[in-house]
A = this chain, B = another copy of it.
Amino acid sequence: MFIGELSKQTKLSIDTLRYYEKIGLIANVTRDRGGRRVYDESLIAWIEFVKVLKATGMPLKHMVDYAQLRQQGPQTTQDRMSILQDHFQHIQTQLAHLQTCHDLVEAKINTYAQALADGSNIPIGSCNAFTATNEEKTNEHSS
């Protein structure tokens, strides 16, 4: 498989794939006689995993570290698992935070919907959910 095909299958741009290779996230890329990169089907699994790590906020640098351990073979299994476990904690924190934000935005939408239904303005204090320390405030335009 050449880079165009890999790009299609992974939905990463050709430039991105070359960039990932450059920084060490994709390794051991062989070439054909013409100098074209030739990829093994199995690389797709790794790239999909990279996308998962990326989607969960791991910086490329950390993934490169992980990739290097992976290159070193089975004796780094423990290290890689530790990295993933740390990252897993991070994902859980993210999920919880995102859920909180989800609920806050939902509440805010409901406030708007209510205000529109009533024909009223947004009530004073409608931002309360977003402040740790407030009792009552003037809120001319509301958030």
Point out residues on A near B: beta carbons under 8 Å. 9, 40-42, 44-46, 48-49, 52-53, 55-56, 70-71, 73-74, 77-78, 80-81, 84-85, 87-88, 91-92, 94-95, 97-99, 101-102, 104-106, 108-109, 112-113, 115-116, 121-122, 127-128, 130-134, 137-139, 141-143
Contact = CB atoms under 8 A, between A and B. Distances in A.
A57 B64 CA distance: 24
Contacts of A87: 105
Interface of A is mostly: helix
Number of copies of this kind of chain in the complex: 2
A122 B77 CA distance: 8
B55 A101 contact: yes
